[in-house]
Structure 1
Amino acid sequence: MHTFNKRLFLLLFSGCSITAPLMAQRKASSDNKKDTIPTKATDQKVLGEIVVSASRKPVTLDNVPSSVTVITRKTLENDLRVTTDITDILGREVPGLAPGTQTNSNVGQSLRGRPALIMIDGIPQSTPLRNGEVDMRSIDPGVLERVDVLKGATAIYGNGATGGLINYITATPQEDKVLSGRTMINTTGSLTSLKNSVGGRVSQMLQGKYKKFDYIVSGVAEETGEYKDAKGKLVGPNYSLGETDSYNAFAKVGYQVTTRQRLQLMYNYYRSQQNSNYNVVNGDILNGIPSSGVLGKPAGVSTGSRGNHNLHLVYQADSLIGGTSLNADAYYESRDDIFYVSFGRFAGSDGQSHTLDKKKGLRLMLNSPLSNNYNFNGTLSYGADLLNDVTSQPLVDGRVWVPEMNMLNYAPFAETQWYLWQNLILKAGVRVEKVNVSVDDYNTLPLSTSTPSIPVKGGELNYTATLFNAGIRYNRLPAFMPYFSFSQGFSVSDVGLALRDAKVNDLKKINTEAVLVNNYELGFVSEHKKFRFELSGFISTSKLGADMIFDPNTGLFNVSRTPERIYGFEAALTYQVLRNLDISASYSYVEGKSDTAKTGGSYNVYLNGRRIAPPKVTGSINYRPLKELELRLQYMGVNGRNRFEKNTTTGLYNGNEGRVKAYNLVNFNANYKVTPRTMLTLGIENLFNEDYFPARAQWFMIPNQYAKGRGAAFNIGVVVSY
């Protein structure tokens, strides 16, 4: 294995989000300890050979032939001093990911132009059968150890990851004491208009180790006040994160059966719902007037996550016969996400829908050494995944909009990785997806603009896909470590959307064909002492797409199943200028077109804003003027994008095709250690009070969601450790 001093590099940049795999910690050497200013007990350890979700077995920094971004615990803590919105945190920290929406929905927050599979410790949160695009807000970021983001199509964890995967890794005990903990209390509010904007957050965490047991438990409760824009006016309340109550309960217990065997059980509950005192007032897009609100009880029930449960049992065994290791786990996930009331959408009455999803899964993976030769070292990972996913989208009043879809997904896989002469890494794998989706007979809900309900004969949908991945990386020269990868991704697409919009009377006549994506990536990493730079370019193609196209004749969105090609590049750097001064920056660009004529090569129509985000620039400066004081400035610039013509009848852009005007946002956060166990924190969101519309509000072209971005806001907190 290449012996470049990666551990020193990771120590120097442990306060930054870097596009590389990071995880396990080791005690620092005395030399490394001299070069850091510890902010907590665990900071006295060195981030070493860190494992990410880039493979089904442990993979370290040198061994990943593709682009991976990891948001470390230190970065999460910095971001949480400003905002607890995980979609905003990810949008700022991950190159290639669209900026956050500032709502409880992540509609349009694509990863390299395609949907990402959201996971918690490998448990899928996304519902590709009926993608409500609310899966990013699945857990409170305060209980996360880090976030792994693997970019580009992948079949590593199953269907739905055509754009990559985002894996939330939950916290593990960091102290050897029987009992230790941390209490955090925060107050938040608007700096442009304090009235009714004040909110609060309380977080309590306990952890410990006793003999063969270890545990960590956490509880979080948060209430936000009204969100105000740069002029002190109410941000349009439809899907806003203002006036939102959130709760998170987390527990993880581990038992070391022997030195080579471990059992672990994790449970997490998350609930986040808006309880607004306002009815939305539609914005006037033509005249640039944002949506707002008037006092009154909104129709329907509270929107957001009514409850997301995750239960996960893991068994690990090392050094079995022939040095084989075993990882087996079982999981259960259940969620209920509620959307806003659709006025006038259904014939005869309004309607409010929610997606119900239950997943049960088993996974088995073995990893066996193939050769332990110093210059010719190889391993083989193999196993199978079994998933049962039951998803539906009824209306709150009991009417069935999308019938229950019962999916059984079985997928055997194998992957081999070789290390040749310590510098050349080769990886190749195969996965076979076998999917069966059963649907009972159902009747479509009549829309106000369509014919009466259509009875649809149910049945079964069967999919089989063989997916391949391969990658190569060469680490001989730290100044230039190139890599290339090819990977395929598979998704059953949004079957539920096709079912609810059916115009035929038989399931077999509906276009529910799955999406198969080919992803090619070429890049390199350059490292020299305290400097790191990564550049990667990618192309993603699929013979079938799943683009949401607006139909101006009906005012509805339809799914376009045309060939697609998406391409772009990303650049990211980190540099320790001084012992107490770090900087980082990134740039990401993505573009995509579809072949509407299906000619096989003429990609003639741009993909809309729901799929393709405008170019994004980010940067940060971390400065530690004193041992007890740390300061951070974070910048995000969203560039403009204008690809479509206005509708000649309305004078407006069609839905999802709106022009995005550029905007620039700066956040500031600071923390000061009053005592070794007490820290004061301060965060300022939108430091310079930029008056703007978030990108989604601009391209979405939906009057009730044409809302301004949040103006300058504060977050003041105290952290007590014991």
Structure 2
Amino acid sequence: MRNDKIFVTTIFIFFTSLLKAQTGVIDGTVKTSDGKPLAAVTITIDGSGQGAITDDAGRFVVYNVPAGMPTIAASSTGFTTQQKQVSLTAGQALTINFVLIEQNQQLEEVVVSAGRTRETIDQIPSSVTVVGLKAIQDNLNITTNLATILENRVPGLAPSSGLSSNFGQTLRGRSLLIMVDGVPQSTPLRNGAMDLRALDPAVIERIEVVKGATAIYGNGAAGGLINYFTRTEKTGKLINSHTSLGATGSLVKKANSIGARVSQMFFGDKGKWNYVASGVYEQTGELKDAKGDILPPIYGLGETDSYNAFAKLGYDINDNHKVQATYNFYSSRQTTNYITVNGDYAAGKKTSAQQGQASGVPQGVKGNHNLNLVFSGETGVANTHYDADFYYQSVDNVFFYSESFVDGGISRILSKKHGARLVFNTPFSAANLDAALTYGVDAQRDITSQPLVDGRIWVPEMNMKNMAPFLQTRFTLFDKLILKGGLRYEHVNIGVEDYQTLPSKNITTGAVTESMHVTGGELNYNPLMFNAGLRYNMSDYFSPYISFSQGFSVSDVGVVLRSARVDSISKINTEAVIVNSYETGFVSKFKNFRFEATGYISKSSLGANSVFKDGAFVVVRAPERIYGVELTADYQIRSNLKASVNYSYVEGKLDADDDGNYDGPADEYLPGPRIAPPMLTGNIEYGVLPGKLNLLLQYTGIMKRDRFERNSNGSYDYSKGPINPYGLWSSSVHYQLSSATSINLGIENMLNKDYFTVRSQWTALNDNYIKGKGAAFRLTLNVRL
């Protein structure tokens, strides 16, 4: 028996030694582009199932790597993944070093939204802002409100109100189109302005912002578009986990202000499959201003429960074709024990909150569903790439209780979209010429209405069918001169059944506007949209560009229908808004410094400016002209110190008498919901102990805008209040406890500035005269396995 044991042990040692003789060891380091060690980087060996995580010094070791020519990959959140194929012989110890580049620091960031195909920023003859994963996560340590995150990072975007509504947060003075993975979230037929918060930022990989009128995705992008791209993780490991636990609260008066957040994400890939699955839940406590008083619940984010469920599954059919399915559900609703107490704008008295039971149902996003199926690959003909996707999106946005309805009521916007898109990209080249054609067709059906929660119809169902073929071209001469141009033809039909307008009550005088019958019908639009641009990448020091583009927007048909005072929609001015946008600018790069300056003018012969008259919103259809400038500077001061500054200025006027002159006695400036005050924002990122302790400092500065005279009551008409300047400082501290664990502390409004938000100032309404959020903290623990 003893001899048998010796024999078995000998055989085991022999085969183990033989196995080890067929393997080797790979070690090395991972550093950032400025030479600092990078901890918590995932190291994977393709096909072996083996890997490692870098330590605090950026070092790693992988044992028992099969001999041959394996591919080793280094990946980390916020950095580009780098792969290297190596030659490893049996028994060899091989050293491989990696340098990873931050995604949001790449000068030639790849963009999809601007031209419906992959291209770098240096190929685009217009202004595009990309907010990368690292910037998103840095800001997520301070706030989860996407409207607030974007105001600091995107020049040209109006300031956030800090509320659930983004009404007034325009892009270059006009409405914008919000998308998730190219699927439209906005409801342009009845714009409820609750689309910026369409999903939780934890599932966003990057954000692309195309500024200026564009028709590249169809209806609604008069001022540009914001496209949220959801997470796609590939690590070479089947199971990865990212857990985030957080707590929030007021630093002024902590009582009842404490909230909590939990986020769990699993991701991985194996062979031809890859997946991401995520769940987020956040509950906020009472939000308080700088004096410690509870902020009123109207459009508030205090005492709010938010949920986000996300799943993405990808499969590589073969080397030339792949398919990906994505589903996202988002809900964010306020359940509060407070009611709003109107302030007094003229007297400078803020709107406040007092305990009481709110009427009706909780306000907010009851549910936003997105389902998207994408096929992509190569056609095998003329190197042509294709993307075919099919989507479904539905949203239910619930608003606050209003006395403007007879007997009171709460409205909701219901919108369902389903559509399909087919896009081809064919490249070709000749001597000193590289070119590409992007062409295809979009088809969409959008059914939108605005009933009251109790079933009464305020805005009838609008059934829009849209078919739009398009063509985009890009020509690159001598690797420097880039010419782009394109066409898009919109065929839009909107059907409306006969309906009865809803009686309304003037909340000031009590006068009631009676209901009337309106005969429905069809609205048809068939515009041909055009765009063209030229960019000359003369050198790193000077790359100028110039462009012209048109945007198409159905002018919030729902507002027009609900306030109709005629007996047929054929008598209502529902003509679409066509915006002509002109832009010029340049980019200059000097070693670690990048500067971009952009100037623009946008014109529309028929505007869609909403005004509040006799207790209701009506639309003024008059020509508009908007102009502005944006400046952006980024400077890598030292290897561990980076600073960025953005400046935005926009102004606009209305040609009320339609005489082609914007300086006549009847003409006036566009009001606050359209035109934001000048803004100056900045960020400083400092690696106190690079890879261990990092600091982010942010500034958001709002400047003065005062364009309107007082009314006969000594106050200001709705939307024409002056903006008094203020500045906010926020910060976050990141500390890497270990290779897998970090802790973050974010402070919003760290100096506890007492201020009225931009929106509360320009509304000049008592019920909207709301203070901004006081100093608040967000403490987060992250564990990545």
TM-score normalised by the chain length of structure 1: 0.94
Deviation string for 1:23-43 (max 9, x for gaps)? 99352899x98877x9xxx88
Partner of 1:438: 495
Tell me if structure 1 keeps the 8 A contact 2:396–2:414.
yes
State the AA in 2 paired with 1:346: F
Partner of 2:82: 27
SS at match of 1:497: helix
1:563 aligns with 2:623: yes
Q: Provide closer, same or farther for how the CA distance between residues 607 and 426 of structure 1 changes in structure 2, counting only shifts above 3 A.
A: same
Question: Residue 609 of structure 1: CA displacement?
Answer: 0.2
State the AA in 1 paired with 2:409: G
C-alpha distance in structure 1 between counterparts of 2:201 and 2:533, whole Å: 32
Tell me if structure 2 keeps the 8 A contact 1:236–1:708.
no
Partner of 2:455: 398
Gaps of 5+ in 2: 1-31, 39-77, 86-95, 506-510
Tell me if structure 2 keeps the 8 A contact 1:27–1:46.
no
C-alpha distance in structure 2 between counterparts of 1:387 and 1:277, whole Å: 41
SS at match of 1:25: coil
C-alpha distance in structure 1 between counterparts of 2:546 and 2:322, whole Å: 36
C-alpha distance in structure 1 between counterparts of 2:436 and 2:104, whole Å: 33
SS at match of 2:111: coil
C-alpha distance in structure 2 between counterparts of 1:161 and 1:53, whole Å: 12
Pick aligned residue for 1:129 from 179, 189, 200:
189
State the AA in 2 paired with 1:225: G
SS at match of 2:202: helix
Question: Residue 49 of structure 1: CA displacement?
Answer: 4.9
Tell me if structure 2 keeps the 8 A contact 1:273–1:304.
yes
Deviation string for 1:168-220 (max 9, x for gaps)? 01000132100001000000000000001000000000001011000001000
Taking the TM superposition and a 5 Å limit, the aligned residue runs for 1:127-166 are: 127-166=187-226
**More off after superposition, 602-611 vs 221-230:** 602-611
C-alpha distance in structure 2 between counterparts of 1:82 and 1:549, whole Å: 35
State the AA in 2 paired with 1:399: R
Taking the TM superposition and a 5 Å limit, the aligned residue runs for 1:259-298 are: 259-298=319-358
Pick aligned residue for 1:327 from 387, 391, 395:
387
Pick aligned residue for 1:352 from 394, 410, 420:
410
1:227 aligns with 2:287: yes
SS at match of 1:330: strand
Partner of 1:579: 639
C-alpha distance in structure 1 between counterparts of 2:104 and 2:598, whole Å: 33
Partner of 2:301: 241
SS at match of 1:536: strand
Partner of 1:300: 360
State the AA in 2 paired with 1:163: G
Partner of 1:3: none
State the AA in 2 paired with 1:471: G
Question: Residue 317 of structure 1: CA displacement?
Answer: 1.4
Question: Residue 118 of structure 1: CA displacement?
Answer: 0.3
Partner of 1:710: 773
Partner of 1:20: none
Q: Provide closer, same or farther for how the CA distance between residues 374 and 193 of structure 1 changes in structure 2, counting only shifts above 3 A.
A: farther
Partner of 1:659: 722
C-alpha distance in structure 2 between counterparts of 1:71 and 1:610, whole Å: 25
- Alignment length (residue pairs): 695
State the AA in 1 paired with 2:359: A
Question: Residue 297 of structure 1: CA displacement?
Answer: 1.3
Q: Which segments of structure 1 move beyond 6 Å, counting only runs of 4 or more?
A: 8-12, 32-36, 42-48
C-alpha distance in structure 1 between counterparts of 2:738 and 2:277, whole Å: 25
State the AA in 1 paired with 2:417: K
* Structure with greater Cα Rg: 2
Taking the TM superposition and a 5 Å limit, the aligned residue runs for 1:614-625 are: 614-625=677-688
Partner of 1:679: 742
Partner of 1:257: 317
C-alpha distance in structure 2 between counterparts of 1:622 and 1:304, whole Å: 34
Tell me if structure 1 keeps the 8 A contact 2:585–2:596.
yes
Q: Provide closer, same or farther for how the CA distance between residues 652 and 84 of structure 1 changes in structure 2, counting only shifts above 3 A.
A: same
Q: Provide closer, same or farther for how the CA distance between residues 46 and 512 of structure 1 changes in structure 2, counting only shifts above 3 A.
A: closer
C-alpha distance in structure 2 between counterparts of 1:46 and 1:611, whole Å: 33
SS at match of 2:142: coil
Question: Residue 9 of structure 1: CA displacement?
Answer: 9.1
Partner of 2:696: 632
Partner of 1:365: 423
Q: Provide closer, same or farther for how the CA distance between residues 210 and 26 of structure 1 changes in structure 2, counting only shifts above 3 A.
A: closer
Tell me if structure 1 keeps the 8 A contact 2:338–2:358.
yes
Taking the TM superposition and a 5 Å limit, the aligned residue runs for 1:309-320 are: 309-318=369-378, 320=380
**Root-mean-square deviation over aligned CA pairs:** 2.1
C-alpha distance in structure 2 between counterparts of 1:51 and 1:276, whole Å: 41
Q: Provide closer, same or farther for how the CA distance between residues 474 and 342 of structure 1 changes in structure 2, counting only shifts above 3 A.
A: same
SS at match of 1:88: helix
Deviation string for 1:409-447 (max 9, x for gaps)? 110000110010110000000000110000000000112
Partner of 1:210: 270
Tell me if structure 1 keeps the 8 A contact 2:742–2:783.
yes
Question: Residue 326 of structure 1: CA displacement?
Answer: 0.9
Partner of 1:17: none
Tell me if structure 2 keeps the 8 A contact 1:330–1:362.
yes
Question: Residue 700 of structure 1: CA displacement?
Answer: 1.2
Question: Residue 11 of structure 1: CA displacement?
Answer: 11
C-alpha distance in structure 1 between counterparts of 2:504 and 2:33, whole Å: 59
C-alpha distance in structure 1 between counterparts of 2:452 and 2:487, whole Å: 40
Taking the TM superposition and a 5 Å limit, the aligned residue runs for 1:639-650 are: 639-649=703-713
SS at match of 2:228: strand
1:73 aligns with 2:133: yes
C-alpha distance in structure 2 between counterparts of 1:446 and 1:192, whole Å: 44
Tell me if structure 2 keeps the 8 A contact 1:569–1:590.
yes
Q: Provide closer, same or farther for how the CA distance between residues 228 and 181 of structure 1 changes in structure 2, counting only shifts above 3 A.
A: same
C-alpha distance in structure 1 between counterparts of 2:251 and 2:344, whole Å: 26
Partner of 1:525: 587
Question: Residue 692 of structure 1: CA displacement?
Answer: 0.2
C-alpha distance in structure 1 between counterparts of 2:111 and 2:321, whole Å: 19
State the AA in 1 paired with 2:596: E
Deviation string for 1:463-485 (max 9, x for gaps)? 01000000010112110000001
Pick aligned residue for 2:554 from 492, 499, 507:
492
State the AA in 2 paired with 1:402: V
Tell me if structure 1 keeps the 8 A contact 2:542–2:586.
yes
Partner of 1:539: 601
Partner of 2:528: 466
Q: Provide closer, same or farther for how the CA distance between residues 64 and 589 of structure 1 changes in structure 2, counting only shifts above 3 A.
A: same
SS at match of 2:526: strand
SS at match of 1:258: coil
Pick aligned residue for 1:482 from 544, 557, 581:
544
Deviation string for 1:143-162 (max 9, x for gaps)? 00011000000001011000
1:422 aligns with 2:482: no
Tell me if structure 1 keeps the 8 A contact 2:104–2:132.
no
C-alpha distance in structure 1 between counterparts of 2:35 and 2:393, whole Å: 36
1:502 aligns with 2:564: yes
State the AA in 1 paired with 2:758: A
Question: Residue 683 of structure 1: CA displacement?
Answer: 0.1
1:696 aligns with 2:756: no
C-alpha distance in structure 1 between counterparts of 2:606 and 2:238, whole Å: 55
Deviation string for 1:278-303 (max 9, x for gaps)? 01101111111111111111011000
C-alpha distance in structure 2 between counterparts of 1:47 and 1:338, whole Å: 41
Taking the TM superposition and a 5 Å limit, the aligned residue runs for 1:333-344 are: 333-343=393-403
Taking the TM superposition and a 5 Å limit, the aligned residue runs for 1:55-134 are: 55-134=115-194
Tell me if structure 2 keeps the 8 A contact 1:65–1:483.
yes
SS at match of 1:697: helix
Q: Provide closer, same or farther for how the CA distance between residues 426 and 29 of structure 1 changes in structure 2, counting only shifts above 3 A.
A: farther
Pick aligned residue for 2:228 from 146, 165, 168:
168
